[in-house]
Structure 1
């Protein structure tokens, strides 16, 4: 048994040695002789090409058949049969012919293998790029679906919470009498009304502060031919007293403007307005006159809105900076056919009825 085992080991080792020798013979590419073998291979291929050309030329001279006509099947049955027989005879002659193989030591197999390997590498790179692009698209689609799933879960959670609240309210109401429900509804309506009144009061105070501290001076500047409201944020009283040029720039204040001149100019624009309370009937300044006009216009528009439901227009005495500002701020709108008519925009309806 030991002797048989040793013989098997010896055969395996001999097989390995023979295989390595064969592999070394196949892969024996000497760098120093590569160029010479390449030239030899090129000469062999050129020789084969010359042989094929010579054979083709010999065939052309020996045959009177037009190759271009033979390349296409004839419509005539007999001629077509002759063509088929000729093709069969050619195949029969070529079948026993030995396939051309490059001689030992030729570098042609290595070149063919290198070309095939290069084609496979290029195809693999293109496949990798295409796969990466598809992966990027799939990842983008996956993120979008995850976002949609997250939104759907949030909506589902909110709907479930809403349904639970409605069920609880329904169960609570089912246990109460109509009188109790009516009383609770009245209390809730009154509480909401008080909240709305407090909110309106707060917003009204904020509006008054905004008009008094910022808007009134800019409205007065626009009335005197100055920049439109918003273009000059800080307008001083001295600037309003000096006035503006025809190009809308503030005049230089070299000397104080007389009170009579200022009052006459105020009366020409705003007319005679009542004096401010608790100031001993002192005349209004330009900013105070614009402030009074804006407040009066807003009060008139609100009064008309509450009385007529927002469908009627308020007739303006003149085209003022206050009315133009309300229109630019999307708070009011002019009549489509009459610019002297103005009304507040009902945000619960369309802009145009």
Structure 2
């Protein structure tokens, strides 16, 4: 029994020495020799498998005990004791038996080591990919949290400043008489109203300049069957006088259109209300569109500040290019069930569908 153990130890030492040599020197592959060693290893393994199968078959034939039944622990204590004794005897008999080791020229250890190394490399690659994905998501979450933290700091600073101002105002008011506070409040409201009136006047003048200089001619072109507002930026009076074709293209002005014909067309589209008082010359198409837009905006403002507030609609006399432009510009909106009713969008409130 000592001889197998000595041989096994010698093979183990030889394998260790070969492994160290392989680690220290570069491996030189000899294809014929490697193939022969593989075939020898396969034959050894097949022979070992056949040997174990023969031993198993011999054990089954010589024993009348069902292996499946013997593998289960019996409920009978005496039978269970016999099973434990048999297992103990088997371990006692197998302990001194030399384990199966491949031959010295076998490549089985190398194959097993290669398989283990490949598994480790694959698992390491998967771990790296998983870690990179987690790192990316963690960095994105960190940036989001940093942005939230920055916003929270800004909000906190603004709230502290606001609180300091309120405390200062409360302390200041507590030292003043009610009559003096009322005077200061009235003066502040008047100053605020003056600023609002000045800003309203400035914005109104800018709107009038925009309508007069740019928008009126484009509105007139759309009313005359030309392109939609914005498609033709430079619309001259000669183009408006000549008119547009059914396809929306400007007609060629080979001969000038008579003023009577132009005035009849203006009256048919915009009506006599477009005329301006104390004006001797008749209105052009752009001027008529300008007057209509101003009147429409004025009526919409009156409706907005009227009794119905932001929910009241203004009844249109006709579908005009001015009303369509205000809707496209998101300044006004039609009634959901009646396109002849229009109102300005009150940006101070929620939009109503």
TM-score range, shorter chain: 0.7 to 0.9
Corresponding position of 1:303: 302
Task: Write the deviation string for residues 128-159 of structure 1: whole angstroms up to 9, x where unpaired.
Answer: 33223222222222222222111111111111
Q: 1:112 to 1:198 in 2, by over 3 A?
A: same
Shift of 1:24: 4.6
Residue-pair matches, total:
331
- Counterparts of 2:110 and 2:313 in 1: how far apart (Å)? 95
Task: Write the deviation string for residues 251-283 of structure 1: whole angstroms up to 9, x where unpaired.
Answer: 2222221211111111111122565578x6111
Task: Write the deviation string for residues 37-79 of structure 1: whole angstroms up to 9, x where unpaired.
Answer: 4444333223222322333344455557776x6587599979x
Structure-2-length-normalised TM-score: 0.78
Q: 1:321 to 1:36 in 2, by over 3 A?
A: closer
Which runs of structure 2 are paired with 1:110-189 in the superposition (5 Å)?
110-189=110-189
Q: 1:129 to 1:324 in 2, by over 3 A?
A: closer
Contact kept, 8 Å, 1:73 with 1:83, in 2: the verdict is no
Corresponding position of 1:213: 213
Corresponding position of 2:190: 190
Task: Write the deviation string for residues 226-275 of structure 1: whole angstroms up to 9, x where unpaired.
Answer: 22222322222222112122232222222221211111111111122565
Deviates further, 42-51 or 21-30: 21-30
Q: 1:23 to 1:348 in 2, by over 3 A?
A: closer
Shift of 1:200: 0.6
Shift of 1:315: 3.4
Shift of 1:195: 0.7
Q: Does 1:286 align with 2:288?
A: no
Corresponding position of 1:3: none
Gaps of 5+ in 1: 1-19
Q: 1:127 to 1:344 in 2, by over 3 A?
A: closer
- Aligned partner of residue 308 in structure 1, secondary structure: coil
Corresponding position of 2:248: 248
Q: Does 1:267 align with 2:267?
A: yes
Contact kept, 8 Å, 1:275 with 1:282, in 2: the verdict is no
- Aligned partner of residue 333 in structure 1, secondary structure: strand
- Aligned partner of residue 209 in structure 1, secondary structure: helix
Gaps of 5+ in 2: 1-12
Corresponding position of 2:8: none
What is the root-mean-square deviation in Å for CA atoms of aligned residues? 3.6
- Counterparts of 1:98 and 1:107 in 2: how far apart (Å)? 20
Q: 1:322 to 1:178 in 2, by over 3 A?
A: same
Task: Write the deviation string for residues 271-318 of structure 1: whole angstroms up to 9, x where unpaired.
Answer: 22565578x611111111111111122223333444435355433332
- Counterparts of 1:121 and 1:337 in 2: how far apart (Å)? 69
Q: 1:43 to 1:246 in 2, by over 3 A?
A: same
Task: Write the deviation string for residues 61-113 of structure 1: whole angstroms up to 9, x where unpaired.
Answer: 5557776x6587599979x8799589737656544432112344544333333
Tell which has more relative contact order, 1 or 2 (C-alpha 8 A, sep 6+): 2
Corresponding position of 1:4: none
Structure-1-length-normalised TM-score: 0.78
- Counterparts of 1:24 and 1:336 in 2: how far apart (Å)? 91
- Counterparts of 1:228 and 1:133 in 2: how far apart (Å)? 52
Q: 1:320 to 1:128 in 2, by over 3 A?
A: closer
Deviates further, 302-311 or 258-267: 302-311
Q: 1:124 to 1:316 in 2, by over 3 A?
A: closer
- Counterparts of 2:332 and 2:277 in 1: how far apart (Å)? 29
- Counterparts of 1:189 and 1:65 in 2: how far apart (Å)? 108
